[in-house]
Structure 1
Amino acid sequence: MSQKDIDSEELLINLVNKGDEQAMRILYCRNIRYLSAVCSRYIYGEEDIKDVLQDVFLKIFASIKSFEYRGEGSLKGWMTKITLNETLKFIKNNSRLQFVELKQDEMDKIDGEPNTEGIPPAVIHSMIRELPYGYRTIFNLYVIEGKSHKEIAELLGIKADSSASQLHRAKAVLAEKIKKYNTLNSISNARGLVERYSQQDVRL
């Protein structure tokens, strides 16, 4: 049996529920890249990501009988929720939820959303991954996952006000990174223009 033999997500779930090892392997192969991407939003180390994903799939296979299929996409959503919960558990268990405090003058410099216009998505993703664990966690939960500050507080065991203030700080750090990127990019572009013009016979 190959992946092509199982086009129906519902059929795949039924086979996994029966303990079919080939179906379990197919389920794993179809979703590992996406769930790795979800996990990597919060955790940087590759070995840590592998450890979390191992726990994720153990949890998926152990509890899939309790999953209620509600159409295409419902399985992905259910697995994403498990991945998020296991990722946050790892962060909390390894004491990685510390927050780096910003000075008041640094806070005052930032107002509104960071302007990401013109910056490649891969660069933005890299900037977010470079945020301290606490800031990165709250930023992703609020901006990417669409969680409210109340929901984030419940997930992380903090106050809703703390979530809001840490999000503001996360945006401040991200905005500073974007500012530096744009400055360096402008300098690089200007240098390229100068070098290009210097190779031409330019007369005023």
Structure 2
Amino acid sequence: MNDIADIVDGCRQWKRGSQEELYRQFYGYAMAICLRYANHKEEAVEILNDGFLKVFTHISTYDTSRPFKSWLARIMANTAIDHLRAQKRLLFAEDINKVYDLGSGSDDAIDKLSVDELLTLVQELPPAYKMVFNLYVMEGFQHQQIASMLGISEGTSKSNLFKAKRILKEKIERAASFLKNDNDDLPAQVAKVKK
């Protein structure tokens, strides 16, 4: 495995081998990000390829004193945003000034879910809610950054996050109640409450 600084340097010189090595080393990481925003794997691959094209085109702007993964993650998230905007699938909820706590109650149900099961429920969120949820929870962006990235107000970002969490809470609680009433396993219950 080559050092990332050497690979980046090769990419800046448009060396095909360096580009292939960068793609190979970060494919899984980048694909995981793209899958969080896409509705299906084919769409994630499209976002991924567009994202890597942006990486290779703009690699000269990468600051080598900062972590490469953070820079790559931001490009992949922005590419997903651009993709969903082009598809006209991002419709944001109204602005609210105060986001209320969802309260407890689903903590026990969450403890019973695996990461994959929780991600399956996140995938079922409406596109705008999923986008804000992923940017805030998964990528660690703040509402001010999300608002700037998406061209919305901070209140709209908060509103969409609140509604995404509310929908997830309802789905998790529904899965937990199915589990109490059935002897089926939780993955089957998650599949039942997807819609």
The answer to whether TM tops 0.5 is: yes
Residue 112 of structure 1 pairs with residue 103 of structure 2: yes
Letter in 2 for 1:96: R
CA distance in 2, matches of 1:14, 1:29: 16
Match of 2:90 in 1: 97
Match of 2:76 in 1: 83
The number of residue pairs the alignment matches comes to 178
CA distance in 2, matches of 1:17, 1:150: 32
C-alpha displacement at 1:155, in angstroms?
1.4
CA distance in 1, matches of 2:148, 2:62: 23
Letter in 2 for 1:60: V
Moved more, 91-100 or 49-58: 91-100
Residue 188 of structure 1 pairs with residue 179 of structure 2: no
Match of 1:128 in 2: 122
Match of 1:30 in 2: 25
Match of 2:63 in 1: 68
C-alpha displacement at 1:34, in angstroms?
1.0
SS, match of residue 117 in structure 1: helix
RMSD: 2.4
SS, match of residue 58 in structure 1: helix
Letter in 1 for 2:7: L
Letter in 1 for 2:158: A
Residue 54 of structure 1 pairs with residue 49 of structure 2: yes
C-alpha displacement at 1:142, in angstroms?
1.6
Greater radius of gyration (CA): 1
CA distance in 1, matches of 2:7, 2:179: 48
CA distance in 2, matches of 1:55, 1:111: 37
SS, match of residue 126 in structure 1: helix
Match of 2:165 in 1: 171
Identity of aligned residues (%): 29
SS, match of residue 158 in structure 1: coil
CA contact (8 A) 2:132 2:157 kept: yes
Gapped regions of structure 2 (runs ≥ 5): 95-99, 186-195
CA distance in 1, matches of 2:7, 2:93: 45
CA distance in 1, matches of 2:157, 2:26: 30
TM-score (norm 1): 0.78
C-alpha displacement at 1:99, in angstroms?
4.8
Distance 1:70 1:128, change over 3 A: same
CA contact (8 A) 2:33 2:73 kept: yes
Gapped regions of structure 1 (runs ≥ 5): 102-107, 193-204
TM-score (norm 2): 0.81
